[in-house]
Amino acid sequence: MTETVKKQPETGFNTYKNLPYRADLDTCDYVVAGIGFDSATSGSPGTRFAPDAIRNCYWKHMGYNQNLEVETSLASGTDYGNIEVKHGYILPSFHMITSAMKEFLSHGVVTVILGGDHSVTLPELRAIKEYYGPVALVHFDSHRDVRCFGTKYDHGTPFSRAVEEGLIDCEHSIQIGMRGGFHSKEYYDFAKDRGMKVIHAYELLDMKADAVIDTILKQVGNAPCFLTFDIDFLDPAAAPGTGTPVVGGPETTLARQIIRGIASLLDIKGFDIVEVAPDLDSGGLTCQAADGILVDMIGSIAKRKELGTLRRGSGVPLFPDTEEKTKEFEEKNLAEQGDIPAFPSTGIHTFMGFPHSRDISGADAVIYGMPYDCATSNRPGTRFAPREIRKCWGFSNYDIEFQFNARENFTGIDYGDFDIPYQNVHETILAVTSQLDQILSETDGVTIGVGGDHALTFAELRSMKKKYGPMAFIHFDSHTDTWDAPDGDGNCLITHGTPFRLAINNGSLDAAHGIQIGLRSGGKTDHDFALSHGMKIIKAQELHKISLESAAQRIRDTVGDCPVFVTFDIDFIDPAYAPGTGTPIAGGFTTAEALKLLRLALPGLNIKGFDLVEVAPQYDTGNITTLAGARIISEFLSIASYNKNVLKQTVSPQG
């Protein structure tokens, strides 16, 4: 007797989970189709390759979904293949997508679409509306995609257009995970003003999955709905393969919990997963995340069938004039279209998009690069951080957490990189001190250094002392950086592990008003040195136990109203979220936790200087460390603007 050998997943015709290719739709509950389109992206392209990459994910059979407790095969499906599009032609491609969608919907099936950039959701919704009327939108994303200016049709505008065309039932719609940049309060308020519910990413950090699920179910109710999942809803540590990643997002586990909790209880007529860019992925993480979400989505269709709640569409258009009205909207929008914003890759790269100048008079913030890594004890490479961080997305206009326009009445200057003599670390410290002296002599604005290794903070503190006196100190790091490294002549070597021993010894640092947060490395003598001089320490183990609110209050109590310098070593963040650093230490914190702690601890403090150090781009994965560094700088700039414009803090320089 010959035993049947199962095929390897990569054999045979490549359909999603080995679904039959273009089976009779009248016998199917759902149809899977790809839309390999990325001509409407503003960031990195590549989503055209996502449908096939997701189909290529290793496990080719869905089987029993143990979390939903249902046999997925209970719902029958087919893979249509990829819908034809014309690259470079947005509106013609939209019409082709809508036409294909209408064919699917005429058979009453649930549509499951593998995008493509997020612009493709608009033509999907046009077809959905024709058959079901305006639907509730359940939108997972880091961006709201309701931009109100510039080009009318790209991946940043699908839902402003969908609202305009009457495709969405706003009163029953919800957006989850928002944390991307906002150009204006109008943009921020777009959804709220129309009755949509919004759960921001910073709220997700404090909410349990059940609370998110309950909020979504309450908002949508019994309305027919469309679920769209932009992969950048996830933190780029979990999904690096996307064109416009935003740090501070949730993990895949939470996303799948939410999908499983809502999808089998909602009347979902269509679903898409968009913005997966496989060429930007690392180890297939993003495609695997997308595949897991799809598995739970299709499993939910099977669960609804088991429960008897899967309502097949009639296949009869309820709004047959949708296509005619679409053409009217397109003609109107193209006639009114304003200036199309330039791609982020055009022009020269400056920190946060600020102008580059050496004239800093009147500046509220002066940002400078310190490309240096010769004082590292392990892997060098931080000399490249200023250049790479400059390439990242800029400082947002509207801050969603503080709810104010952070750029209004707040000027920033990119001073450029300091001239760094590499041959001798002592000369490097003198050079950085001298150049920061010059900046501080010309402005009372906050200074922001972008390193470089942590030895450079010693130079910054030396300069700060001349203007403000010994500095209170807030230090986010996994290391103490108070090593005892004698040079043989009774002095301490200048390395990235010794800056704060040096700064305490020379009086630049007011240790009694200093605090170190996140430490999880270093010897007893290093810790004892800091403690013996009055420094406070919150070790990583303790920070994991207490609340971020409690930690923030201890930080604020420690520094009081003293002039303070804040230094952020990127290895404070766990290497799962920031692998691009020279001396990573596991057991740290998520980017979202780091950002929240900054927001809780720093507003209202008398901050004179800030630096971000130890980003080493060549060890990075999917640019997630560089993105985290850029976001931390952006967050600090928002706090500096908030201090000036909202809290109206005015503290005259001391010393």
Asked whether the predicted pLDDT for residue 347 surpasses 70, the reply is no
Task: Indicate the pLDDT class of residue 653, thresholds 50, 70 and 90.
Answer: very low
- Please give the helix or strand (H or E) that residue 405 lies within, else none: strand 404-405
Domains and CATH numbers, the chain: 16-336 (3.40.800.10), 351-645 (3.40.800.10)
pLDDT digits (tens, 9 = 90+) for 122-145: 999 999 999 999 999 999 999 999
Show the tokens assigned to 218. Answer: 């309450």
Using a pLDDT cut of 70, give the percent of the chain over it.
92
Report the SS3 class of residue 193: helix
pLDDT for position 401: 80
Helix (H, G, I), strand (E, B) or coil at 158: helix
| Alpha carbon separation from 100 to 65, 119, 258, 398, 583 (Å, rounded) | 30, 16, 29, 38, 52
CA 122 – CA 270 distance, rounded (Å): 12
Residue 318, token pair as written in the block? 């309820």
pLDDT per position as a tens digit, 518-566: 999 878 888 898 999 999 999 999 999 999 999 999 999 999 999 999 9
Find the mean pLDDT for residues 317-330: 86
Q: Is the pLDDT of residue 316 over 80?
A: yes
123, 94 Cβ separation under 8 angstroms: yes
Summary count for the chain: helices (H), strands (E): 19, 20
Please give the Cα distance from 34 to 100 (Å, whole number): 11
581 Ramachandran zone, left/alpha/beta (phi>0; psi -120 to 50)? beta
How confident is the model at residue 513, as a pLDDT?
Answer: 97
Alpha-carbon span 145 to 178, nearest angstrom = 10
pLDDT-derived band at 6, boundaries 50, 70, 90: very low
- E strand residue ranges, 520-563: 536-539
Angstrom distance (rounded) from CA 511 to CA 528: 13
| Residue predicted with more confidence, 237 or 335 | 237
- Mean pLDDT, the chain, rounded, equals 90
Return the structure tokens found at 342.
């330039």
Q: 478: closest CA among 585, 611, 615?
A: 585
pLDDT at 652: 35
Global pTM? 0.84
Q: What is the mean pLDDT of residues 252-274?
A: 97
Q: What is the pLDDT of residue 337?
A: 67
Single out the residue of 251, 247, 246, 241 nearest to residue 293, CA to CA.
251
Residue 66 has, within 13 A of its CA and on its CB side, a CA count of 0
Predicted local distance difference test score (pLDDT) of residue 628: 95
Check whether 622 has a pLDDT greater than 60: yes
Q: Tell me: the pLDDT tens digits for 178-233?
A: 987 665 677 778 888 899 999 999 899 889 999 999 999 999 999 999 999 999 99
pLDDT in tens, 469-524: 999 999 999 999 998 876 655 577 888 988 999 999 999 999 999 999 999 987 88
The average pLDDT across 459-468 equals 97
- Best CA proximity match to 367, nearest among 468, 439, 452: 439
Which pLDDT band holds residue 651 (cuts at 50, 70, 90)?
Answer: very low
Does residue 626 sit in helix, strand or coil? helix
Nearby residues of 147 by Cβ (< 8 Å), 6 or more positions away: 156, 157, 160, 183, 187
Mean pLDDT (whole number) for 629-633: 94
> What are the pLDDT digits (tens) for 326-343?
888 888 887 776 555 554
Residue 589 DSSP code:
B
Residue 445, Cβ density class (10 Å: 0-12 exposed, 13-18 middle, ≥19 buried):
buried
Q: Is 440 exposed, middle or buried (0-12, 13-18, 19+ CB in 10 A)?
A: buried
Q: How far apart are CA 273 and CA 384, in angstroms?
A: 35
Q: How far apart are CA 275 and CA 242, in angstroms?
A: 6
Mean local confidence (pLDDT), 115-119: 95
CA distance 94 to 43: 20
pLDDT surpassing 60 at residue 437: yes
Residue 60 has pLDDT above 80, yes or no: no
- Of the pLDDT bands very low, low, confident and very high (cuts 50, 70, 90), residue 405 is confident
Bridge partner residues of 30 (DSSP): 77, 110
pLDDT in tens, 9-58: 444 458 999 999 999 999 999 999 999 999 999 888 999 999 999 998 86
